[in-house]
């Protein structure tokens, strides 16, 4: 059977799996470094999930408030991630994101402007100064289109120089990778199928960049598209790499909960940045009751002060609606649980009564347009019904911060964007993902190219591995006794949504692991009706095993971490524990089983930790770490004298 299967073979220097912001940026870099580059896109070229990002891209350019700089951005990022971030990634991100944004302008991006013609920057939850470069509320689309068009322009250069658009960079649209193939511990290529025809494809390449995004399709209420099935996470695990921080999932606080046509769709934080407030069913603006101690200093205590902030941010503290996302999500959850929610199980987000219809339409055009057309909800007239929706996974492939090279026992594997872990710690700030894509996409692409350069021999692919991959891929089509993949996905979503959701408990997590084990057996026997040609049931059947293994990582890590921090809330351990801040939970694959180990976090360099004041640090650090900090400060003062 397998010997007669046709497999299309290609040779590349760098294969980038994923065609969102990180993937395209990585591919551009690899191509600019002279490498023959392939981009694998699960959807059509330019349809990536990145288009959903509305708010903007955070970069400390200081265009709107000149006091902003990379140190402040770094501080905000660490604070948002509750100090669990890989500090080096946060540092690189804060330093390099302005350059990545400016670079986009040379590719043709058109950001909104300030009065003096610079890139405008807007306020966003968790950012001290207006920092998000934006284009109305469709910044993600602008970013994708710009990178897409840059790739086209590189192809035009190649056409001019080599007579072929695809001489040095080719997009494989609607193609899914199911396996990475190895030569010993080195990446040797990737195997997958064209969704259109169901034909198989084998890409031989010494370097692979994973940029596959997140895992949200394992949840019932999610803002994520069908592509977000944790492919990259699972491919990395199976290739011998490790995942970190998988217990941290961001639930966007304000997803629509009603009507069903827009369920899960995000209401951008800009609605709150531009004056929208959260109210419970009693009409009370409840966020003032939920400001945690660590943030008390930066947030307003009265509605009057909060309302003054919109026009005079220098002399007033911010409204509590702009607290980091996890805080807002938790607050909404508490209100709903206390019986003060809307009929659909959310709360009201009201901008209609606070800004004029004209202003709302001007400042939030696509938000207005989207809800008007999708759900016939007029946000200038009525409040929206919102609640937490699964939005982003902080966890991902454990990488070297500078190069994006995966840790574990595999070489030639790189990761960037949502599929990589560490950068955002336990919680991501809004706006940091778009800049993350650019900064680490470029780095991963560049380092993958230099890795390919320094190889003395090309790795080769074993025939047996390809045959095994073909067999695994065809299996669901050849079985007719198993279950429907859609049923299995719904069951998986129910387990994850109900038991490993926003608020977690030990008993439920243990229960989830049992159910996931049962699901694993059912998924192994899944069968898909129909043929190989554009068969979504078959595609889902193949994605399921990725979703399953990633869900196991999340459930295991969530059970292990006995504290609440950022995107991980344990009802039985409601407080943050400084001891747990020193630990990353690392997942790897041992045969088929997920293995979990503890790994200490790297220690922040002196000049970086000195950016924080002691009172703030005391909320995160252990006594020993604080003593080290005091010694550092004393030493610096002495040196200063």
Window 541 to 580, contacts with other proteins (CB under 8 A): none
Interaction of residue 483 with other proteins, rule CB under 8 A: no
Task: List binders of other proteins among 226-255 (CB under 8 A).
Answer: 226-227
Least CB distance to other proteins at residue 634 (A): 39
Residue 482 makes contact with other proteins by CB under 8 A: no
Window 165 to 204, contacts with other proteins (CB under 8 A): 165, 173, 196
- Backbone φ and ψ for 527, nearest 5 degrees, come out as -130, 145
Residue 500 in tokens: 């490993």
Candidates 252, 504, 561, 565; catalytic one: 252
Q: Which is nearer to other proteins, 116 or 590 (CB)?
A: 116
Nearer to other proteins, 152 or 465 (CB): 152
Task: Extract the tokens encoding 553.
Answer: 């990582």
Minimum separation from the CB atom of position 118 to other proteins (A):
7
Q: What is the DSSP string of 455-479?
A: -SS-----HHHHHHHHHHHHHHHH-
Shortest CB 136 distance to other proteins, Å: 8
DSSP string, 99-143: HHHHHHHHTT----B-TTSSB-EE--TT-SS--EE-STT-HHHHH
Asked if residues 576 and 294 have their Cβ atoms less than 8 Å apart, the reply is: no
**Per-residue contact flags (x/-) with other proteins for residues 65 to 104, judged by CB under 8 A:** ---------------------------------xx--xx-
Binding of residue 135 to other proteins (CB under 8 A): yes
Per-residue DSSP letter, 316: S
Which among 443, 434, 522, 431 is positioned nearest to 476, based on CA atoms?
Answer: 522
Q: Which is nearer to other proteins, 43 or 551 (CB)?
A: 43
Among 31, 49, 195, 272, the active-site one is: 272
Q: Is 515 a known active-site residue? A: no
Is the separation of the CB atoms in 59 and 105 below 8 Å? no
- DSSP designation for 12: -
Q: Could you tell me the maximum CA-CA distance found in the chain, to the nearest angstrom?
A: 79
Which regions of 301-426 does DSSP assign to beta strands (E)?
347-350, 384-393, 396-398, 413-415, 420-421
Fill in the per-residue mask, 498 to 537: x = in contact with other proteins (CB under 8 A), - = not in contact: ------------------------------xxxx-xxxxx
For other proteins, which stretch binds (CB under 8 A), given 21-29, 115-123, 395-403, 420-428? 115-123
Q: How far is Cα 492 from Cα 496, in angstroms, rounded to an integer? A: 6
Q: Does 490 bind other proteins (CB under 8 A)?
A: yes
Is 487 one of the binding residues for other proteins (CB under 8 A)? Answer: yes
Q: Tokens in use for 208? A: 């692979």
Using CB under 8 A, which of the segments 308-316, 387-395, 446-454, 482-490 binds other proteins? 482-490
**Which one, 533 or 595, has the nearer CB to other proteins?**
533
Nearest distance, CB of residue 144 and other proteins, angstroms: 9
Minimum distance of other proteins from residue 43's CB (angstroms): 6
Q: Pick from 41, 86, 97, 155 the residue near other proteins by CB under 8 A.
A: 155
> What's the DSSP call for residue 166?
T
Name the minimum Å distance from CB 455 to other proteins.
Answer: 31
Q: Which is nearer to other proteins, 56 or 206 (CB)?
A: 56
| CB of 124 or CB of 368, closer to other proteins | 368
**Which among 145-153, 408-416, 451-459, 548-556 is the span making contact with other proteins, rule CB under 8 A?**
145-153
Give min distance, CB of 218 to other proteins, in A.
Answer: 16
* Crossing angle (nearest 10°) for helices 432-454 and 21-32: 40
CA–CA distance, 496 with 230 (Å, rounded to integer): 14
Residue 628 parent element (H or E): helix 623-640
Helix (H) or strand (E) holding 325: helix 325-337
Using the contact rule CB under 8 A, the part of the chain among 42-50, 84-92, 316-324, 601-609 near other proteins is 42-50
Listed residue (36, 21, 45, 19) closest to 158, CA to CA:
36
Task: Tell me which stretch binds other proteins (CB under 8 A): 114-122, 271-279, 354-362, 515-523.
Answer: 114-122
For residue 142, the minimal CB distance to other proteins (Å) is 6
Question: Which residues, numbered 43-72, are part of the site for other proteins (CB under 8 A)?
Answer: 43-49, 51-52, 61
Q: Which is nearer to other proteins, 343 or 464 (CB)?
A: 343
| Residue among 77, 86, 97, 120 that touches other proteins (CB under 8 A) | 120
CB atoms within 10 A of CB 61: 20
58/406 with CB nearer other proteins:
58
Query: Total binding residues for other proteins by CB under 8 A?
Result: 73
Q: Is residue 272 annotated as a catalytic residue, yes or no? A: yes
Which tokens go with 2? 């397998």
| Least Å from the CB of residue 374 to other proteins | 6
Helices (H), 389-482: 432-454, 463-478
Please, which of residues 252-271 interact with other proteins by CB under 8 A? 258-262, 265
Q: At closest approach, how far in Å is the CB of 176 from other proteins? A: 14
Q: Element (H or E) spanning 182, and its range?
A: strand 175-183
Residue nearer to other proteins on the CB measure, 41 or 588? 41
The CB density around residue 282, as the number of other CB atoms within 10 Å, is 8
Q: Which runs of E-coded beta strand occur in 225-346?
A: 243-244, 249-256, 277-279
Q: In angstroms, how far is the first alpha carbon of the chain from the final one? A: 79
Q: Is 161 in the site for other proteins (CB under 8 A)?
A: no
Q: Which two tokens stand for residue 142?
A: 């602008």
**Residues 363-422 close enough to bind other proteins by CB under 8 A:** 366, 369-370, 373-376
Least distance between other proteins and beta carbon 220 (Å) = 14
Residue 162 binds to other proteins (criterion: CB under 8 A): no
DSSP H or E run through 200: strand 200-204
Residues 106, 456, 481, 615: which binds other proteins (CB under 8 A)? 106
Task: Rank residues 112 and 511 by Cβ distance to other proteins and give the closer one.
Answer: 112
User: Locate tokens 């607290």: which residue?
Assistant: 323
How many other β-carbons are positioned within 10 Å of the β-carbon of residue 297?
10
Pairing mode, if any, of strands 413-415 and 207-210?
parallel
Could you count the other beta carbons within 10 Å of the beta carbon of residue 283?
10
Instruction: Give catalytic residues, as residue numbers.
Output: 252, 272
């Amino acid at each position: 059977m397998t010997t007669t299967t046709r497999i299309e073979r290609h040779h590349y220097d760098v294969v980038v799996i994923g065609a969102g912001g990180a993937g395209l940026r990585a591919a551009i870099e690899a191509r600019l470094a002279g490498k023959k580059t392939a981009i694998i896109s699960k959807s059509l070229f330019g349809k990536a999930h990145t288009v959903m990002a509305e708010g903007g891209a955070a970069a400390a350019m200081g265009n709107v408030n000149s006091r902003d700089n990379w140190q402040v951005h770094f501080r905000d990022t660490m604070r948002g991630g509750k100090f669990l971030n890989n500090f080096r990634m946060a540092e690189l991100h804060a330093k390099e994101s302005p350059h990545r944004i400016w670079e986009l302008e040379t590719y043709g991006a058109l950001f909104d402007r300030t009065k003096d013609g610079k890139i405008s920057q807007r306020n966003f939850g968790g950012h001290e100064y207006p920092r998000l470069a934006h284009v109305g509320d469709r910044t993600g689309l602008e970013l994708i289109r710009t990178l897409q068009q840059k790739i086209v322009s590189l192809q035009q250069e190649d056409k001019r120089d080599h007579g072929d658009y695809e001489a040095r960079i080719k997009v494989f649209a609607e193609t899914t990778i199911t396996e990475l193939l190895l030569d010993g511990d080195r990446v040797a290529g990737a195997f997958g199928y064209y969704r259109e025809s169901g034909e198989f494809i084998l890409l031989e390449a010494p370097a692979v960049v994973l940029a596959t995004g997140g895992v949200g399709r394992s949840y019932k209420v999610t803002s994520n598209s069908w592509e977000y099935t944790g492919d990259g996470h699972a491919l990395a695990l199976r290739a011998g790499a490790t995942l970190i921080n998988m217990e941290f999932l961001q639930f966007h606080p304000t997803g629509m909960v009603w009507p069903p046509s827009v369920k899960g769709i995000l209401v951008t934080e800009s609605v709150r940045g531009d004056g929208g407030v959260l109210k419970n069913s009693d009409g009370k603006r409840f966020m003032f009751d939920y400001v945690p101690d660590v943030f008390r200093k930066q947030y307003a205590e009265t509605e009057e002060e909060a309302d003054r902030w919109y026009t005079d941010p220098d002399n007033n503290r911010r409204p509590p609606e702009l607290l980091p996302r996890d805080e807002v999500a938790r607050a909404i959850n508490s209100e709903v649980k206390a019986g003060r929610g809307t009929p659909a199980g959310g709360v009201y987000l009201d901008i209609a009564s606070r800004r004029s219809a004209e202003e709302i339409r001007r400042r939030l055009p696509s938000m207005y347009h989207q809800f008007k057309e999708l759900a016939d909800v007029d946000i200038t007239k009525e409040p929206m019904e919102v609640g937490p929706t699964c939005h982003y996974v902080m966890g991902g492939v454990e990488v070297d911060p500078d190069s994006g090279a995966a840790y574990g026992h595999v070489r030639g594997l790189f990761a960037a964007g949502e599929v990589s872990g560490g950068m955002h710690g336990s919680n991501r700030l809004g706006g940091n993902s778009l800049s993350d894509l650019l900064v680490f996409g470029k780095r991963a692409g560049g380092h993958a190219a230099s890795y390919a350069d320094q190889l003395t021999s090309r790795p080769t692919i074993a025939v047996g591995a390809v045959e095994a991959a073909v067999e695994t891929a065809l299996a669901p089509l050849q079985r007719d006794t198993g279950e429907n993949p859609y049923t299995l996905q719904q069951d998986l979503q129910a387990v994850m949504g109900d038991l490993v959701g926003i608020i977690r408990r030990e008993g439920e997590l243990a229960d989830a692991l049992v159910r996931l084990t049962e699901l694993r057996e059912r998924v192994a026997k899944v069968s898909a009706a129909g043929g190989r040609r554009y068969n979504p049931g078959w595609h889902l059947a193949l994605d399921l095993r990725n979703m399953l293994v990633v869900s196991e990582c999340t459930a295991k890590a969530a059970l292990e971490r006995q504290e609440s921090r950022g995107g991980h809330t344990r009802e039985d351990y409601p407080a943050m524990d400084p001891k747990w801040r020193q630990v990353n939970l690392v997942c790897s694959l041992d045969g088929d089983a997920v293995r979990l180990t503890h790994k200490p976090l790297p220690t922040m360099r002196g000049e970086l930790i000195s950016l924080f004041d002691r009172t703030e640090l005391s909320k995160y650090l252990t006594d020993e770490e604080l003593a080290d900090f005091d010694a550092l400060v004393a030493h610096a003062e002495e040196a200063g004298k």
